[in-house]
Amino acid sequence: MQKAPPKDKGRVNLSHILRPVIRPIVDYALPPRCPGCGGIVEEDHRFCLGCWSSMRFLGRPCCDRCGAPFDHDRGEDALCGACIAEPPAIDRARAVLAYGEIAKTVALRLKYGRRIGLARLIAKQMARHVPQEGRDAMLLVPVPLHRWRLWWRGFNQSALIAGHLGRLCGIPVEKEVLLRTRRTPPLRGLNPKQRQRVVRGAFAIDPTRKAALSGRTMLLIDDVHTSGATADACARILRRNGAASVQLLCWARVLPDDGDFASMEDDDWRAIDNSRSAANL
């Protein structure tokens, strides 16, 4: 057997030499821009000071189940009134941000402006909410799109986020175990109870991949969490098919005191065209 020629230990990696030279030229011609306002910033995937300071980051103290923020620490395992009165199917939900102008802009630019690079930014922010313990039993599952919507859009933004998050946290991703079998109408303008009825029975499990769920903790990945109807429908079908628990992790969530869903989503739809036209930012 012929031996492979020895590697040239003195070979120079040109990319390391050229990168410091080329990068300033590229940044001058195509400067990094803030994902929120489009202003020039120092590095890619960085927010400007104005956008950063206007965002409301979520974390403790909060409801142990749904993640709704508390105004003061109520102790470990404390639940909000809504979760006590009507516990959600999701075992735990966490979001990076409260839904606001910047969170909305980033979500719309990813989803409708085709700024798929924003999925990595979102995943990096989500990573701090992934529990350190028990990662070997976790599985990342993105909320699926119906095949026609996937065909129209060209990608599933939740799957893109899940892929980046899986690489960051070392957790496997299963993008096809959860299916959206029925095309549902847009949920805009519906109250939470109406949303639940619309998504009921819209999801199924791929029987050829069902074994992957057995005894594992599902981290359900989505971009925006509003009423929780979609997440609860996904959680029920995942648990019925062997998942030990289902947790939701998303970019932004609408807080209980943010007002009516219909008016908020009408504003979002008016912003979609702006997101598409701003795709070059």
Peptide bond into 61 cis (omega under 30): yes
Give CA–CA dist 164/172, Å, rounded: 11
* pLDDT at 278 (0 to 100): 45
In a domain, 5, yes or no: no
Q: Which residue is listed with tokens 């206007």?
A: 54
In a domain, 132, yes or no: yes
In a domain, 206, yes or no: yes
In a domain, 34, yes or no: no
Q: Which residue is listed with tokens 């306002």?
A: 37
Instruction: Report the number of distinct structural domains present in the chain.
Output: 1
Please say whether the dihedral angle defined by the alpha carbons of residues 215, 172, 166 and 116, taken in this order, is positive or negative.
negative
User: What is the pLDDT averaged over residues 45-64?
Assistant: 91
* pLDDT at 41 (0 to 100): 82
Residue 118: give its domain's CATH number. 3.40.50.2020
User: What is the pLDDT averaged over residues 105-123?
Assistant: 91
Q: Which residues contact 278 (CB under 8 A, 6 or more apart)?
A: 38, 109, 113
Structural domain harbouring 203: 57-277
In a domain, 216, yes or no: yes
Reported as a single tens digit per residue, the pLDDT across 61-104 is: 999 999 999 988 888 889 999 899 989 999 999 999 999 999 99
Give CA–CA dist 236/251, Å, rounded: 22
In a domain, 161, yes or no: yes
| Residue 212, SS3 per DSSP | helix
Q: Determine contact, residues 211/174, Cβ cutoff 8 Å.
A: no
Q: Give the H or E element holding residue 33.
A: none
pLDDT band per the 50, 70, 90 thresholds, residue 108: very high
* pLDDT at 101 (0 to 100): 93
Is the pLDDT at 212 greater than 80, yes or no?
yes
Is the pLDDT at 142 greater than 90, yes or no?
yes
Instruction: Give the angle subtended at the CA of 57 by the CAs of 127 and 100, to the nearest 5°.
Output: 115
Amino acid at 236: R
User: What is the pLDDT averaged over residues 226-247?
Assistant: 92
In a domain, 152, yes or no: yes
**Between residues 186 and 143, the one the model is more confident about:** 143
In a domain, 154, yes or no: yes
* pLDDT at 17 (0 to 100): 60
Give CA–CA dist 148/241, Å, rounded: 25
Cα distance between the two ends of the chain: 56
Q: Determine contact, residues 26/66, Cβ cutoff 8 Å.
A: no
Residue 259: both structure tokens together? 């007002």
Strand 92-98 to strand 245-253: parallel, antiparallel, or no bridges (unpaired)?
parallel
* Average pLDDT along the chain: 82
